Amino acid sequence: FKMDTTPESYLDLFPLDAIVYLTPDSENVLEDIDPDKVYVLGGLVDESIHKQLTLRRAREQSLRTARLPIREYMVKAPNAKNYHSETLAINQVFDVLSTYYETRSWPAALRAGVSSGKGYVLPDTAEQ
């Protein structure tokens, strides 16, 4: 993948209506990747998880939001800590998006990017 870096803000580089801010707190499910949109991954990186923080940031900037379809394609796996998190690291989100773009399969994409440590599995692996 080709990548450019710049100190400029995405708000200055792209029209607001082209930006989709990915946040696990969004009510909107990302159903497909639109090549005409700009997806913000890890728009806010923090050592701890603050619920709704990225969603509030996107709303303050009047941006469209979406979340990965983890709940729609995966199930909570039983585990000793009863731990389940839809918050992923930037590289995991990138893996999900790039795999989906190549395969057009959310199950394949989520298998590629969501580690079992997050407490979610695809239904066909839930019993294993």
**39-48 pLDDT per residue, tens:** 998 755 554 5
Catalytic residues: 46
CATH number (3.40.1280.30, 2.60.120.260, 3.40.50.720, 3.40.50.2300) of 10-121 reads 3.40.1280.30
Share of the chain above pLDDT 70, in %: 90
The Cβ of residue 96 has, within 10 Å, a number of other Cβ atoms equal to 25
Beta strands in 41-97 (DSSP E): 64-66, 75-76
What span, in angstroms and rounded, lies between the C-alpha atoms of 6 and 125? 41
Backbone angles phi, psi at 38, to 5 degrees: -110, 120
Q: What is the mean pLDDT of the chain?
A: 89
What are the boundaries of each domain within the chain?
10-121
Q: Which residue has the higher pLDDT, 44 or 10?
A: 10
Report the pLDDT value the prediction gives residue 47, as an integer from 0 to 100. Answer: 47
**66-102 pLDDT per residue, tens:** 999 999 999 999 888 888 888 888 889 999 999 999 9
Q: Which residues does residue 40 pair with via DSSP β-bridges, in sequence order?
A: 21
Report the pLDDT value the prediction gives residue 74, as an integer from 0 to 100. Answer: 95
